[in-house]
Amino acid sequence: MFQLVLSGLALGCVYSLVALGYHLTFITSRTLNFAQGSAMMLGAVITLILVVDFNWPTLPATLVSILLLGVFGLALERFAVRPFVRRGSMAWVMSTLAVGIIVENVAQLIFGKSPRGLPNELAQDPVMVGGAGIYPLELLIPVVVLAIAVAARLFYGSTMLGRALRATAFDREASLAVGINVDWMIGLSYAASSMLAAVGGVLIGPLIGVSSHMGFLIGLKAFAVAIVGGLEHPLGILIAALAYGVVENLIGGHFGSSAKEIFGFGLVILVLFLRPAGLFGRTRLRRI
Amino acid sequence: MSEVHPAGIPSASRRTAVKILGAAAASTVLPRGASAADPIKIGLSAAFSGPNATAGEALQRGADLAMEEINAAGGVLGRPLALVIRDNEHKLDRGVAQTREMIEREGCVAMLGSQGSFIGLAVIDTIHELKIPWFALAVGGVGIIENGRKPNYMFRVATNDREVAKFLVSYGQEKVGGKSFAILNEDTGWGVPAIDDLRVALKGRNLEPASVDKMKVGDSEFTPQMLRAKNGGADTILTFSNAVEMANALKAGNKIGYKPKVLSAWGLANPTFPSLAGPLADGVMVMQTFTFVQNTNPKAQALFKRLAEKNRNVKDEMALPFPSYIGNAYDATHMIALAIKKAGSTDGPKMQAALENLGTYGGLIKSYANPFSADRHEALGPEDYSMTVWRGSRLELVA
């Protein structure tokens, strides 16, 4: 039982990283980056290619991969989101999805069709925590998530750029009026969302294996927890993600792994039925 | 949502490619006038994209090798053989539609069969309507061959899941010294029916499984399954599964301090298995019909040399994934050529009759003496299975 909770927490942290990406782009631009799952996969695939095929040490490979995903996010926003949002169209839903699918298939062509293992010393020998075994990497995952959360808080609170981002999220028109480059802020939020997903991919890769199709289901689950937690509530998303990881593991433990998705997504629907704005969201008053 | 199955990018050239292998070379040795003869087409509908793609490539390699030899020796009935390939993407509807299309439109006179037992089962009707021999080369579903048809057009040059289950249990008990067995199969049309095959095989030795579990393809967390096996007291796991799922199961087992012996059907022959499972792959045993590793048969060594010459990436035997499929497809292709020769025709019913009375054929996997008869459509039996074991990144024969 405790064993399942522990593994579930690590998985939940990864969901939260990908899910926070949905949050970031939503607050700045009211758009969602549906290529998040693919960005996660790309982060893991690039790291694996650098580490295994080019013999890079893990840390620089990880950093390069995350930076590249930042560039990917900028490009995605510039070419697949901005043109549509400008015209007031919802086509960004389709275009981000399409980019995700294209990326997945290109990765399959380059990376190959079979899954591969991403070696990591932290995922070799388990340590015992309270009678349950866990890989050190699974313990590192929550630490990384916490560090990112603290860094984000500091960034938002005490840098010009962070404040500008917050202002954009708060009121787009007013931000434009005071001279904030809103386009650039939205681009940045896309870069940050892709980078978060990449971090998730690099962390989960050594535990479950890397393949060109690894991002789909995790991207979808992350979207579910983003909705359940409330798209505008980072803390809510974090809690929802951890809860989803744990609950899903416990369900798998008792009813078999085929029941996981049935109950997991079923629960999502139930929560949304009871609280349409998510667990922590407040229904917005609309002035008419 | 059960199987995370990317659609892949099937290349147009591959889908429509009609490979006339060595046809040019063959024309120089053919008797006068025969060079203009149309090739005799044999179809291969298999998954060439998605997670099962490497297995499809292995089937193609085996058929290619055999056709090169047949065509270099003048072809069959004065005509060269040609392989027609389609990517069925491991999908039932595509597999069935392609089988019909390849026979009716392309004029294929025999079909080499796909991965996925569900596809093999689904084409039985089509095959018996069109009366063209179909060869199971990468699937072990019992019902594909035991289908109640007379005459039966379904043939197998591969393992049979029921026999594999018996082989794994007897090997586990006699050679590995297993006392208590857990069943851990993947949650697919291959793994689920094989659970019953394993149960029956265990029952045949008065054993009950310590635990019976399924692994959903695409899932990554198999701690509960491994806990049940551990708590059930299993010292050996019997599995019909693929590399990713079993690697993740072993990692989960490692976390709870559970390191059982593992005996597997062909799925874990995938060369990615050790990269996914790391050191935990060491000692995992995989049943096969054929391997190039440590194979002293001169025919196998010569074939490996030819493959290495053709493909610069093939540096050692492990660069050829799923060697059993190469062997199965190679032997089946030669059997088809022999049957055409014996029947003196590419007519389906005549070929079917010839296959049931083929005589001897010195194949790659073994020397066959009448591989098929009216009641027996399995060319290979448990006596032809061999056990291999992962050591590092090599899958070696168990001495």
Q: For residue range B126-166, list pLDDT tens digits in order.
A: 999 999 999 999 999 899 999 999 999 999 999 999 999 99
Q: Which tens digits make up the pLDDT trace of B209-249?
A: 999 999 988 788 888 899 899 999 999 999 999 999 999 99
Looking at the fold, whether B272 and B363 belong to one and the same domain comes out as no
Pairs from B191-194 (Cβ < 8 Å, separation ≥ 24): B191/B215, B191/B240, B191/B241, B193/B117, B193/B141, B193/B142, B193/B161, B194/B140, B194/B161, B194/B164, B194/B165, B194/B240, B194/B265
Residues of A in contact with B220 (CB under 8 A): 11, 207-209
Looking at the fold, whether B170 and B141 belong to one and the same domain comes out as no
Q: Does residue A153 fall inside a structural domain?
A: yes
Looking at the fold, whether B250 and B352 belong to one and the same domain comes out as no
B24 has a pLDDT exceeding 80: no
**Partner residue opposite B270 with nearest CB, options A11, A114, A124:** A114
Regarding beta strands B386-391 and B285-288, do their DSSP bridges make them parallel or antiparallel, or are they unpaired? antiparallel
DSSP, collapsed to helix, strand or coil, labels residue B36 as: helix
CATH of the domain at B346: 3.40.50.2300
Regarding beta strands B181-186 and B211-215, do their DSSP bridges make them parallel or antiparallel, or are they unpaired? parallel
Domain containing residue A101: 2-112+137-274
Q: What is the DSSP-derived secondary structure letter of residue A53?
A: I
Tokens encoding A44: 């893991």
Q: Give the closest-approach CA distance of A15 to chain B in angstroms.
A: 14
**Number of neighbours of residue A255 by Cβ within 10 angstroms:** 13
* Angle subtended at Cα A151 by Cα A148 and Cα A154, rounded to the nearest 5 degrees: 150
Nearest CA in chain B to A120: B278
How much is the pLDDT for B246? 95
Q: Which tens digits make up the pLDDT trace of B187-219?
A: 988 899 999 999 999 999 999 999 999 998 878
Question: CA B399 to CA B397: how far, in whole Å?
Answer: 6
- Provide the strand spans (E) within chain A: 127-129, 132-134
DSSP-assigned letters across all residues of A136-170: HHHHHHHHHHHHHHHHHHHHHHHSHHHHHHHHHHH
Question: CA B315 to CA B269: how far, in whole Å?
Answer: 18
Looking at the fold, whether B217 and B326 belong to one and the same domain comes out as no
Residue that the structure tokens 């002035």 belong to: A287
Question: CA A33 to CA A42: how far, in whole Å?
Answer: 15
Residues of chain A with pLDDT under 70: 281-288
Question: CA B52 to CA A113: how far, in whole Å?
Answer: 8
Looking at the fold, whether B172 and B264 belong to one and the same domain comes out as yes
Q: Does residue B62 fall inside a structural domain?
A: yes
Length of chain A: 288
Whether B247 contacts chain A with CB within 8 A: yes
- With beta carbons less than 8 A apart as the criterion, state whether B47 and B125 touch: no
Looking at the fold, whether B208 and B317 belong to one and the same domain comes out as no
Whether A134 contacts chain B with CB within 8 A: yes
DSSP, collapsed to helix, strand or coil, labels residue B282 as: coil
Question: CA A161 to CA A229: how far, in whole Å?
Answer: 26
How much is the pLDDT for B22? 41
Residue B262 β-bridge partners? B237
Domain containing residue B213: 162-288
Q: Which tens digits make up the pLDDT trace of B254-299?
A: 988 999 999 999 889 988 899 899 999 999 999 999 999 888 899 9
Number of domains, chain B: 2
CATH of the domain at A105: 1.10.3470
8 Å CB contact of A105 and B8:
yes
Q: Give the closest-approach CA distance of A136 to chain B in angstroms.
A: 11
